Each structure stands twice: as C-alpha cells, then as structure tokens.
C-alpha cells in the first residue's frame, strides 16, 4: 500500500488544479521558502481527516481555501483528493485503489467522499486506523513537531505508540461502551423510579375503578329513564303535528281555488297588456313616421327656397370681368431690355476697375518719389546740423550705441539659453507624461475589465437575491396555504366525527376490535367532483351508514352496540344486495347521467351501492327532473341541489347541512391542497438554500471585484496625480519659455533700433566729416515738383473711385428693375388663370342650383301625400289603444280582489306554518338531543323506547341476574319514569365525583407496570454485558500495548545507537503496574555526556532524539507511508548522513514523502518535486523521476 496521487484544487496557494503523482520509496519535495511546500503536508493531513485549524497553520478551517491575490480572485471552495494503491489489501475494503476526497466550502460546510461516494469523517478515520494511520496523524511529522514530541507528557507519548499499534480503535470501543453504560445507568434509575411510582398508584386507582363500575350501572338506569321520557315527549309532539297537517289540507284546497282565479285574471290581464304592448311599437312607429315625414316636408321646402335664392345671386353676378393689369408679354420684353442694359454697365464697371488700379499705382509711385526726396533733404539738413554740433559729440554717440548693441546681444544670448533650458525641462516632462499616458491607457483597459467583472458579479448577486426574495415569498405563501389547509382539514375532520353507534363501530375497527366492519360509506366511496350533494340525496340514510360485507357481520355489529348500549347505527350490507342490470334501463337525455356512473366503491360494497342507485339519474335542475320523471315514471331523478323526484314521492327543499359525502370529498380535496402546499414549501426551501449558496458565491465575487477596482482606482489616482504634476511642469516651463521669448523679442527690437540709430549716427558722422565746413543750402525745387505730382495722382485716384461706384449703383438698379418686371409678368398670368377657373365654377353651381330647385318641388308634392296617409293611420291606432286601456283597468280591479282573498289565506297558512315550525323545531331539538346526548337515532328511540313499549327489568349493581330475568315487564307510566330518573340522579350524587376512565386507566396502568418490570430486567442484563465488553477491551489494550511498547523500546535502543554511537537511550514506563494508564519517559545520554535530561540537550541532539523515537515507532509498528517536513533542518552533515541511512532503511517497508532543503537528502530520493510560486501568488509544481535521470545519464 502506498500513496499514488494527490490532487489539490483551491487549497491554500494551489489555486489551479495540481496533481502530484507519488512513487514508492522516497519522494522529496523541494523549493524556496514560502513557495507552498508545507501546504502539500497540510493537504495530506487535511484530506485524511485533520480537524484542527491550528494544526494546518490557520485561524479557522475556511483559511485552507485560496484567498485570492491582487492578480487572481479568491475561490469559493477547496478540494483535495488522495488516491491510495491498495493492491496488497492493507485497507479493509474491496478496491485495489481507494480515493479519499474532502471538500470545504466558503460557508464552513465540509464534505467527504470515498471513491466518489459521499461518506462520514468517521468512516474514513476507521478505514485508515485499521492500517496504522490514526486520528493523531503520527505518520505526519510537520515543522516544529520534533520538539513537540520531546515536550509531550508521558501520557501523550503513550498515545503515539497506541496509535501506531492500533489501540485507539479499542479505546474508542471502550469509550462507546462506557457512554452506553452511563446512559443506561440513567435509564435504569428512571425505570426503577417509574416502576415504584406505578406500584404506588395501582391501589387508589383500583378503588376508583370499583366506584366507576357501580356508577356505570346507575348511569345505565338513568339513561333508560331519560330515553323513555324523551321518546314519550317526541311521540306526543309528532301526533300534534300530524293533526295540524290534516287541518292544513282544507286550507290548501281553498287557497288552490283562489290561486286558480288569480291565475285566470292574471292571464286575461296579460293578454290585454300583451295586446297593448304589441300595439305600443305600432303607435310609436306611426308617430315616428308622421314626425319624420313632417320634418322631411319642411326640409325639402327650405331646400327649394335656398336653391332659388342661389340661382338669383349667381345670375346677378354674371358679368364679364375685365382684367386691369398690363400685358405679361410686354412686361417680359421690358425685363429683357433691362437685363441687356445691366450687362453693358457691368462691362463698364470692369473697365473702370482696371483704370482705378492704374491710378492707385501711379499715386503710390509719386508718393514714394516725394518721400525719398524729402528724406534726402532732411539728411542733408541733419548733416549740416551735426557739423555745427561737432564731430566729437557724434563720435561719442556712435560709441555709446555700439556698447548698447554689444550688451543687448549678450542679453539675447543669455535669454536664448534660458529658453533652451525651459524647453528641455518641458520636453523631459512631456516624455514622462506620454509614457504615463500609455501606462494609464493599459490600466484603464484593465479597469474596463474590472468594471465588467464587478457589474457581472453584481448582476449575479442581484439576480440571486431577487430569486431568494421570490422563493421566500413563495415559501411564505406555501406555508400560509399549508397552515390554512391544515386548519380546514382539522375542522372538517371534527365535523365528520360521528356521535351515534357508528362512532363506536368505527373506533373499534380502528383499534382492531371491529370484526368485519369495512368503514364509513362516505370514506369508502369516490364521487366525481360536483356530484357529492346529489349522490348524498340519492343515497339518503345510506350516505351516513357503516359498510359491512355480510349479514352475519351486520348482526355481530348490532349485537356489539346493544351489549355496550352505544346507540343506533345504519348498516349497508354488501353481499345481500341484488342490483338490476343497467342494460334494460331506458336511455337518458344528454343533460342527465346515471348515478352509478359518478361513484366508485370497493368490490365488497359495490352491489349494495348499485342496488340503492337502481334507476337513479342525476339531472341539472328541477325542471329537468320533472320532465324526466314524467317521461319515465320508473326513474328517480336527483337534482344538483339535492331535490329528489321518484315514483310517488319527492323530497328536498331548502339547503341542508353538508352531507358526509360532501364533507369527505372536501377532506380529500383539502388533503390534496395540503400535500401540494407542503411540496411547494419544501421545493421553495430547497431552491432557497441553493440560491443562498449562489448569492454567497456572488457576494464573494462582488467583494473581490470591488477590492480589485479599489486597487485599480488607487493606481489610477496615483498616475493621475503624477500626470497632473508633469502637466504643471510642462505648463510652467512653457510659460517661462514664452515669457523669455517675449523678453528676447523686446531685446532684439531694442537691439534693432540701436543698430538703426548706430547706422544713422555713423552715416551722419561720415557725412559731417566729409562735408566742408561752410556748405551751401540744398535746393527744394525737385521736392516741390514731386509733391505736386503726388497731389495730382491722389486726385485722379479719387475721380476713378467715384466713377466706379456710380456705375456699380446703376448696374444694381437695373438688375432690381428686371427682377420686378419678371415677377409682375408671373403674377399677371396667375391672376388671369384664377379668373377663368372662377367663371367655370359659377356656371357649374348655377346648374346644380337649378336641378336642386326642380327636384325639391317634386319631392314636396310626394311627401305631402304620404304625410296625409301617416296622420290617418296614427289616429286609428290611438283610438284602439284607448279602448284596450279601459279593458285593462277593469281586469286589474278583478285581479286585486282575488289577490286580497289569496293574501288572507296565505297569512292564515303562514301563521299555521309558524306554529308548526315551532313544534317541528322542538321535535328537532329533541331529536338532536337524542343523537348528541344519548347517541340514538330518533326513529329507533320512538320505536324501542316509546310509551307503547313495556319496560323490561333492569338489574342493579348488587342484584342476582337470575332473579332479574324472572321479573315481568311493566307498562309505561310517565310519573314512574320521572321518579326512577330522580332516584338514579340521587344515587349518582351520593357516589360523588367518579373517574369514568378509572377502569381503563387501571387496566392500562397494570399492563404498564408489567412491561416496565420486564424492561428493568432487560436493562440489568444489558449492563452486565457492557461491563464484560469493557473488561475484555481493557485486557486486549494491555496485551497490545505491552507488545508494542516492548518492540518500540527495543527499536529505540538500536536506532539510538545508530544516531548516537557510544551513547545510551531507552524508554521506560512511569507506572509499570498499570498498563492501561502508564506513561512513557525518554532517557537519552549522548556519547561523552553524563546528562540524561532532554531539556539540557542541544537543538540538534533534541531533534535526533525525537527522530529516534519516531523511527523506533515506525520500525516497531510500520505504517504504509510517512510524511516528514524539514525534520533534518537542525542537523549537521554527520548526523544528516546517519538520518539518511535510517530513511533508506525505512524505504524498504514504507513510502516516505520528505520536505527538505538538504542536497544529500535529495540525492537518495526516487522522485523529486519542485515547488515554486509565481508573481501572482499561485504555487506551481514540476516533477522528475530520479531513475529517469539515471537512465538518461
């Protein structure tokens, strides 16, 4: 047996699915610190059932789920699967490969699976413990665990050996037995207390039972007296009602005669009123016809007048209209002439524009010549002045200007250097700005993805929460329906509860004492929906009966009721019925159905039910029932309202209470509603749990996406802040460069002016130096001539401008005149077209008016004749209606007289009915009292306990039965029965309060006492068996532990000698006399030292001693595999070599998985796994088989 594969998904830093394929022998897992090597050890411990979060280096168990990194979202669950090769059958399971899977969800729930089948943690622990792998995980030696082994108490060290030896399962068995003993002890004490208490209750309850037996006899006598008194009163009231019914017959006969007279008068009046009603539409139609003809006559006359007036107006306006406008063709010719003149003027404007350009050029040339001559004369004048001022002054000014020019050139150079520096700063900032803009573009693209992820997660969360809200509302509605249906079901079941003899029979049947009772008929039959009331009316008494299969069963049931005095019952006997065949029955109309077809019943009940429903049909209404019975007298028709019409009888009337069939149907329907509501509530709860898990996952995704967005926003904010700073630098440098450029421009302007002045001063100086001391004044004649020429040129330019503007204005005026003439021509044409159309329209209107006037005259003559005929017909109909109104008045008087007499007869009958209703109500009260209080049917009450029945002798509590049987029955006397009832009531009062349930309670309590006595003996026997199990387990633990300790102690000595040559080490028991509780002490003396206390050893020595203890356990009781996490970290090279030798020895019998940083340990490995962590915080694994490397080499 060895570990074959380990698959991690979402466990700690293993975000992606990672599979390690392990090899027999030594497998080393290497990698830098923090890369996730120890997570592999944690995964192995976790999948094998580790329950301590601290043992897995976490605060809570949910910490094993991948928590997310800045580059990867957190996961919702962690899953680890471990596959074990079980070819050798070390695990007690019928599989050559065993895969253990553990899954942890973010909500804290955990699941276990064995070969894909869900199981319990206990199943996995028991499976592994049988192969030497216990819950304490001694086969996994994690970081820092070596020192913990040495710091352990002697009892904890004992636990290491017990786990390796498989003792823990025996201790677990003992603990279970002790827990059972503890629970059994409490149960034993309770049963003993209950038995004693019941024993004390049996005496008083026996006395109460005897009193109840005596009271039952007295109550039977009082019941018999009450029944006979009630039957006497009911018989007397029934006789009075029957006499009143006979008196009512004569009254009904007279009322029938009067009703016939009223019907005759009403029929005659109806005929007259019908004739009046039939004539009313004719009269109304005649009036309407007359009114319509009169209105038509008036409208036609008015139309003729209007047409004549229209013809007159059109004739008066019929004159020839002359046009007052000008000829359109003439206007178009004038417009064309104006266009030609406009074109000629435009040509003249072009010529004038060219002449103006020539005048402008001549003026500019004359002004330039005049300015040059004037400048020359001014220069000569300044030269003369300068000569007068002196050459020395000019020379000084020239030198000063040269100095200023040099200083200006130096300043311009300095300013240009400043501009270059500012531009360099701006360019550097711009380059960094551009680089950051590129990076922020990338971040913004990532931001878009994060926004999309957040919105998607938010949408999923909103959808899940919406589904949760809808499911909670559905659950609330379903629970409301469930509660309402349950309440309605309870009410219906209470209403169907029987109070007559049927209740006793049905209760006995439920308790198994009912013999052959099938059940209530209402509960056994199934009726089509909507026909319950009709079928209950058809069945009558049988609808509330109890069904039995045979006459013998019926006789037994009646005898049982009589013996218990439990009241009357109606029985429906299945086997004695002989229903007729429906093949010989007549056919029914489409609106009717045979009652047999709407009911289903068990085979034992069907014959009796079909016999009751022989020739019984169900119809919709009373009219259908009457028609069906008239057509087929042998058929009994039942309406949906419960009215029954049959051969020679009918029954029904006002709405009665619900029948048992209707109540049973309502119960079945309510049960269906309750089941449906319960199913909906369960479905809503299941869906709610599912969507809450989805909402939790979506909420985690939202939080992760929001956190990523916040991180992205922080990065974008930092970049934006830097961009703002760089933009400020660019703007500041640019502004500085602009200011410096302006300063350069100002300096260069000043420098240019200085250079101009220098040139002027130099020229003056040269001129002054070259000019004679006494020069003549220059001549101004040429300047005057040039000034006159310039003035003439300006005048010529002005004249040309005036000429051009005049011609342009004339051209625009001609263009406007041409446009006006063309528009006038178009308007004149449109006006002439409108005049022509108006003349044509007037001619058409005149023709129409003439035709209308002619037609109106003809129609007026025709309508006048029809109006005369309609007026005569209207008058005839009015006379006929007046005659019929007189006849109707006389008939109404006759009908009113007959109705008054009928009303008097009806009032008399009503008073009689009220009196009889009171008597019937009293009868119903007495009948209800018989059923509800005494549990007997009223008909049975009068038949068996009426005043005509003799009274049989009733035995007293102390009477001899033979003597009572010899007595003769006595006749009924009301006073005797009243005295008998008072005597029985006094006897009951003398007995005082009696517990009516004492007899049953005494029997039940006695039965319970016997049962508890038996149970007490069983508990004592079970306690002895458990104590035997504990004793056997203790003996087994002593033997197994003693053997394991002896083997471990021997191996410890040998391993210690290997690790500490020349040293001394041994294991001792703290209490050798108590092998069940003794601890284990470790004594270690390295070579060359005299100390034996472990706390005084060095760190490396302590590690070696701990390794020696563990290896001794491993050798004494080998396990299929061991996992060691950096156990050699504190060892030097020599001790490391010794430890590696032990590893190689263990490799022969077990699989070793070693987490290490030591190269020498790696060299002895059969396989290497390299673990590293990328920048996104996720662990990755690479593997290498060492034998493959050797084969390649």
- Residue 114: pLDDT band (50, 70, 90) is very high
* The pLDDT of residue 656 is above 70: no
DSSP H helices in 933-954? 938-945
Q: DSSP string spanning 329-352? A: HHHHHHHHHHHHHHHHHHHHHHHH
Distance set, CA 689 to CA 692, 693, 694 (Å): 5, 6, 9
Is a pLDDT exceeding 50 seen at residue 582? yes
pLDDT at 8: 92
| CA–CA separation, 1165 and 1161 (whole Å) | 7
Residue 112 β-bridge partners? 102, 119
Each residue of 402-458: pLDDT tens digit?
777 887 788 778 878 887 887 888 778 777 777 776 666 566 556 567 767 777 887
The pLDDT assigned to 326 comes to 65
Q: CA 857, CA 11: separation in Å to the nearest integer?
A: 110
Contact 231, 939 (CB under 8 A): no
* Lowest-pLDDT choice from 350-359, 662-671, 979-988: 662-671
- What average pLDDT does the segment 980-996 reach? 74
Angle (CA) 502-506-508 rounded to 5° is: 120
Residue 113 has pLDDT above 90, yes or no: yes
CB 1145 within 8 A of CB 4: no
The predicted structure's pLDDT at residue 150: 72
- Spatial separation of the C-alpha atoms in residues 983 and 403, rounded to whole Å: 160
Q: Would you say the C-alpha torsion 529, 532, 534, 538 has a positive or negative sign? A: positive
Mean pLDDT across the stretch 459-464? 82
Residues 791 and 346: beta-carbon distance below 8 Å: no
Q: How far is CA 1001 from CA 210, 514, 1048, in A?
A: 12, 21, 67
**Of the candidate ranges 63-67, 966-970, 1020-1024, the one whose mean pLDDT is the lowest:** 966-970
Element (H, E) at 1096: none
State residue 1095's pLDDT score.
67
Please give the structure tokens belonging to residue 104.
Answer: 């942890």
| Tokens (6 digits) for 725 | 């700073």
Q: Is 594 exposed, middle or buried (0-12, 13-18, 19+ CB in 10 A)?
A: middle
Beta-strand runs (E) in 432-562 = 519-520, 526-527, 546-548
- Of residues 385 and 318, the one with the higher pLDDT is 385
Q: How far apart are CA 1093 and CA 1103, in angstroms?
A: 14
What is the C-alpha separation between 805 and 795, in angstroms, rounded?
16
CB 443 within 8 A of CB 715: yes
Is pLDDT above 90 for 304? Answer: no
Give the residue from 879, 894, 881 showing the smallest Cα distance to 268.
894
Q: What is the pLDDT of residue 437?
A: 65
User: Strands 18-21 and 1121-1125, how do they pair?
Assistant: unpaired
- What six digits make up the tokens of 1050? 């021997």
CA-based nearest residue to 104, from 66, 137, 140: 66
Closest by Cα among 1093, 1091, 1146, 1157 to 1119? 1146
Joined tokens for residue 496: 């169907």
- 981 is written with which tokens? 């009832």
Contact assessment for residue 1051 and residue 1095, using Cβ atoms and an 8 Å cutoff: no
Tell me: the pLDDT tens digits for 204-229? 777 777 777 777 777 777 778 778 88
CA separation for the pair 930, 1190 (Å, rounded): 107
Say if residue 1190's pLDDT is above 70: no
Which pLDDT does position 994 carry in this prediction?
67
pLDDT at 322: 46
Tokens found for residue 673: 């509603």
Band (384; pLDDT cuts 50, 70, 90): low
Break the chain down into helix, strand, coil percent, rounded to 5: 70, 10, 20
d(CA 486, CA 1159): 76
The span from the CA of 837 to the CA of 1159, in Å, is 120
Residue whose entry in the numeric block shows the structure tokens 């004369």: 377
pLDDT at 779: 63
- In this prediction, residue 770 carries a pLDDT of 65
Average pLDDT of the residues in 633-637: 88
Count of all residues that appear for the chain in the document: 1193
Q: How far apart are CA 828 and CA 332, in angstroms?
A: 11
Q: 647 CB contacts (<8 Å, ≥6 apart)?
A: 629, 633, 634, 636
pLDDT averaged over every residue in the chain: 77
Mean pLDDT (whole number) for 509-535? 76
Tokens of 1064: 């001394």
Distance between CA atoms of 364 and 354, rounded to whole angstroms? 16
For residues 723-733, average pLDDT = 75
Pairing of strands 644-646, 649-651: antiparallel
**325-332 — which CB contacts under 8 Å span 24+ positions?**
325/827, 325/828, 325/831, 325/832, 326/824, 326/828, 327/828, 328/825, 328/826, 328/828, 328/829, 329/825, 331/821, 331/822, 331/824, 331/825, 331/828, 332/821, 332/822, 332/825
* pLDDT at 959 (0 to 100): 60
Show Cβ contacts of residue 709 under 8 Å, excluding neighbours closer than 6 positions. 447, 450, 451, 454
CA distance 153 to 853: 137
Going by their DSSP bridges, the two strands 644-646 and 636-639 should be labelled as antiparallel
Question: Span 175-179, mean pLDDT?
Answer: 75
pLDDT score, position 78: 92
**Which residue's structure tokens are 């030591």?**
1158
| Residue 324 clears pLDDT 60, i.e. is over it | no
Say if residue 676's pLDDT is above 60: yes
Q: Tell me the per-residue pLDDT of 1105-1152, one tens digit each, with 9 for 90 and over.
A: 888 888 888 778 777 888 888 887 777 888 888 888 888 888 888 888
Cα separations in angstroms, 747 against 96, 421, 737, 752: 100, 19, 15, 9
- What's the pLDDT at 83? 94
- Using DSSP's 3-state secondary structure scheme, residue 569 falls into coil
Average pLDDT over residues 305-319: 64
Note whether 395 and 776 are within 8 A (CB).
Answer: no
Residue 402 is predicted with a pLDDT of 78
Lowest mean pLDDT: which of 590-594, 1081-1085, 1175-1179? 1175-1179
Judged against a pLDDT cut of 80, whether residue 192 lies above it is answered with: no
Among the ranges given (314-328, 349-363, 916-930), the one the predictor scored with the smallest mean pLDDT: 314-328
Q: What is the pLDDT of residue 464?
A: 81
In this prediction, residue 103 has a pLDDT band, given cuts at 50, 70 and 90, of very high
pLDDT in tens, 155-167: 888 877 777 777 7
Query: What span, in angstroms and rounded, lies between the C-alpha atoms of 943 and 926?
Result: 15
| pLDDT per position as a tens digit, 1058-1083 | 888 888 888 888 888 888 788 888 88
What average pLDDT does the segment 242-266 reach? 78
Pairing of strands 140-141, 1121-1125: parallel
Mean pLDDT, range 488-509, rounded to an integer: 64
Mean pLDDT of 506-532: 75
- Decide: 835 and 321 in contact? Cβ < 8 Å: yes
Q: How far apart are the first and last CA of the chain?
A: 31
pLDDT at 92 over 50: yes
Q: What is the mean pLDDT of residues 88-102?
A: 87
- As a whole number of angstroms, the distance between CA 338 and CA 253 comes to 124
Q: What is the pLDDT of residues 469-483, one digit of tens each?
A: 888 888 878 877 777
- pLDDT: which is higher, 542 or 306: 542
Query: Hey, how many other C-beta atoms are within 10 angstroms of the C-beta on 940?
Result: 18
Contact 14/8 with Cβ under 8 angstroms?
A: yes
**C-alpha distances in Å from residue 228, one per residue of 222, 236, 929, 948:** 10, 12, 13, 10
SS3 of residue 1068 by DSSP: strand
Express each pLDDT in 900-909 by its tens digit.
777 787 777 7
Where does the pLDDT of residue 1177 fall: very low under 50, low under 70, confident under 90, or very high at 90 and above?
Answer: confident
Cβ density class 273-299: b for 16+ within 10 Å, e for less: beebeeeeeebeebeebbeebeebbee
Instruction: Measure the CA–CA gap between 794 and 797, rounded to whole angstroms.
Output: 5
Instruction: Locate 217 and state its tokens.
Output: 């006899």
3-state SS assignment for residue 72: strand
């Amino acid at each position: 047996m060895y570990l074959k594969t380990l698959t991690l998904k979402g466990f700690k830093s293993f975000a992606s699915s990672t599979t390690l394929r392990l090899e027999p022998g030594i497998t080393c897992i290497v990698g830098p610190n923090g890369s996730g090597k120890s997570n592999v050890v944690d995964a192995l411990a976790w999948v094998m059932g580790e329950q301590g979060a601290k043992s897995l280096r976490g605060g809570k168990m949910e910490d094993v789920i991948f928590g997310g990194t800045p580059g990867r979202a957190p996961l919702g669950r962690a899953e680890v699967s471990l596959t074990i090769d079980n070819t050798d059958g070390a695990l007690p399971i019928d599989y050559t490969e065993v895969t253990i899977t553990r899954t942890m969800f973010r909500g804290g729930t955990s699941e276990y699976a064995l070969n894909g089948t869900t199981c319990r943690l206990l199943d996995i622990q028991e499976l592994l413990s049988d192969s030497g792998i216990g819950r304490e995980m001694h086969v996994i030696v994690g970081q820092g665990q070596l020192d913990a082994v040495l710091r352990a108490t002697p009892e904890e060290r004992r636990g290491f050996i017990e786990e390796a030896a498989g003792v823990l399962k025996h201790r677990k068995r003992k603990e279970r037995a002790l827990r059972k003993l503890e629970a059994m002890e409490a149960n034993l004490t309770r049963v003993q207390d209950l038995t004693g208490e019941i024993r004390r209750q049996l005496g008083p309850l026996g006395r109460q039972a005897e009193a109840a037996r005596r009271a039952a006899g007295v109550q039977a006598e009082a019941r018999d007296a009450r029944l006979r008194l009630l039957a006497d009163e009911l018989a007397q009231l029934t006789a009075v009602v029957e006499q009143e019914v006979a008196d009512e017959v004569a009254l009904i006969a007279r009322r029938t005669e009067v009703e016939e007279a009223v019907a005759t008068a009403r029929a005659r009046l109806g005929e007259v009123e019908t004739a009046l009603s039939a004539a009313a539409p004719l009269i109304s139609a005649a009036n309407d016809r007359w009114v319509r003809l009169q209105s038509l006559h008036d409208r036609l006359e008015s139309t003729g007048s209007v047409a004549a007036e229209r013809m007159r107006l059109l004739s008066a306006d019929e004159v020839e209209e002359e046009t007052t406008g000008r000829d359109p063709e003439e206007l178009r010719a004038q417009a064309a002439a104006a266009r030609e003149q406009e074109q000629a003027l435009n040509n003249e404007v072009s010529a004038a524009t060219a002449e103006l350009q020539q005048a402008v050029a001549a003026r500019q040339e004359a002004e330039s010549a005049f300015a040059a001559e004037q400048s020359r004369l001014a220069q000569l004048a300044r030269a003369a002045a300068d000569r007068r001022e002196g050459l020395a002054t000019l020379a000084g000014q020239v030198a000063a200007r040269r100095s200023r020019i040099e200083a200006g050139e130096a300043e311009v150079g300095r300013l240009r250097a400043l501009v270059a520096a500012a531009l360099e700063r701006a360019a550097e900032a711009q380059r960094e700005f551009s680089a950051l803009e590129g990076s922020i573009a990338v971040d913004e693209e990532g931001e878009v993805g994060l926004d999309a992820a957040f919105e998607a997660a938010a949408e999923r969360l909103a959808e899940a929460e919406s589904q949760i809200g809808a499911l909670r509302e559905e659950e609330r509605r379903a629970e409301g329906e469930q509660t309402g249906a349950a309440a309605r079901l309870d009410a219906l079941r209470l209403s169907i509860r029987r109070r007559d003899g049927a209740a006793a029979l049905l209760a006995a049947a439920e308790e198994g004492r009912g013999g052959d009772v099938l059940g209530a008929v209402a509960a056994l039959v199934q009726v089509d929906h909507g026909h319950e009331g009709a079928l209950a009316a058809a069945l009558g008494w049988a609808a509330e009966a109890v069904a039995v299969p045979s006459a013998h069963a019926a006789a037994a049931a009646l005898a049982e009721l009589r013996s218990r005095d439990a009241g009357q019952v109606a029985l429906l006997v299945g086997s004695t019925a002989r229903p007729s065949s429906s093949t010989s029955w007549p056919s029914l109309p489409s609106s009717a159905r045979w009652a047999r077809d709407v009911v289903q019943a068990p085979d034992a009940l069907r014959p009796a039910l079909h016999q009751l429903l022989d020739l019984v049909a169900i119809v919709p209404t009373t009219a259908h029932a009457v028609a069906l019975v008239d057509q087929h007298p042998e058929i009994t028709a039942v309406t949906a309202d419960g009215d029954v019409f049959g051969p020679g009888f009918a029954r029904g009337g006002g709405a009665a209470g619900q029948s048992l069939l209707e109540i049973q149907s309502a119960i079945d329907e309510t049960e269906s509603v309750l089941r449906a509501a319960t199913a909906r509530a369960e479905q809503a709860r299941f869906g709610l749990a599912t969507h809450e898990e989805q909402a939790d996952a979506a909420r985690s995704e939202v939080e992760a996406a929001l956190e990523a967005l916040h991180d992205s926003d922080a990065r974008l904010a930092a970049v934006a802040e830097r961009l703002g700073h760089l933009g400020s630098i660019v703007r500041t440098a640019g502004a500085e460069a602009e200011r410096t450029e302006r300063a350069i421009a100002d300096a260069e302007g000043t420098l240019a002016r200085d250079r101009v002045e220098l040139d002027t001063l130099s020229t003056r100086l040269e001129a002054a130096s070259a000019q004679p001391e006494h020069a003549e004044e220059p001549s101004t004649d040429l300047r005057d001539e040039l000034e006159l020429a310039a003035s003439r040129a300006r005048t010529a330019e002005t004249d040309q401008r005036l000429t051009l503007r005049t011609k342009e204005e004339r051209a625009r005026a001609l263009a406007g005149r041409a446009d006006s003439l063309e528009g006038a021509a178009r308007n004149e044409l449109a006006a002439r077209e409108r005049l022509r159309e108006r003349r044509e329209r007037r001619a058409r209107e005149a023709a129409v008016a003439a035709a209308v006037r002619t037609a109106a005259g003809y129609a007026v003559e025709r309508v006048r004749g029809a109006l005369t005929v309609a007026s005569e017909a209207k008058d005839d109909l009015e006379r006929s209606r007046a005659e019929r109104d007189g006849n109707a008045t006389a008939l109404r008087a006759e009908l009113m007289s007959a109705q008054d007499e009928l009303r008097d007869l009806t009032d008399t009958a009503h008073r009689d009915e009220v009196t009889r209703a009171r008597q019937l109500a009293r009868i119903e009260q007495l009948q209800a009292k018989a059923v509800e209080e005494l549990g007997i049917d009223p008909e049975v009450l009068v038949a068996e306990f009426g005043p005509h029945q003799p009274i049989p002798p009733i035995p007293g509590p102390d009477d001899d039965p033979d003597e009572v049987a010899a007595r003769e029955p006595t006749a009924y006397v009301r006073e005797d029965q009243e005295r008998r009832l008072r005597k029985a009531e006094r006897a009951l009062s003398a007995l005082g309060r009696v517990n009516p349930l004492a007899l049953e309670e005494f029997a039940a309590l006695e039965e319970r006492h016997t049962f508890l006595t038996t149970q007490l003996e069983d508990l004592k026997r079970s306690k002895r068996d458990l104590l035997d199990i504990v004793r056997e387990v203790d003996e087994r633990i002593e033997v197994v532990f003693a053997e394991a300790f002896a083997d471990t102690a021997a191996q410890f000595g040998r391993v210690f000698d290997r690790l500490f040559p020349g040293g001394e080490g041994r294991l001792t028991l703290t209490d050798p006399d108590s092998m069940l509780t003794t601890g284990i002490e470790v004594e270690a003396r390295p070579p060359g030292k005299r100390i034996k206390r472990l706390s005084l050893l060095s760190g490396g020595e302590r590690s070696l001693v701990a390794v020696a203890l563990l290896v001794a356990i491993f050798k004494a009781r080998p396990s299929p595999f061991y996992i060691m996490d950096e156990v050699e970290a504190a060892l030097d090279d020599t001790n490391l070599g010794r430890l590696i030798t032990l590893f190689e020895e263990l490799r022969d019998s077990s699989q070793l998985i070693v987490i290490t940083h030591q190269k020498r340990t790696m060299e002895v490995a059969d396989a290497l796994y390299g673990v590293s962590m990328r920048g996104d915080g996720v662990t990755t694994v690479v593997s290498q088989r060492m034998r493959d490397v050797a084969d390649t080499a």
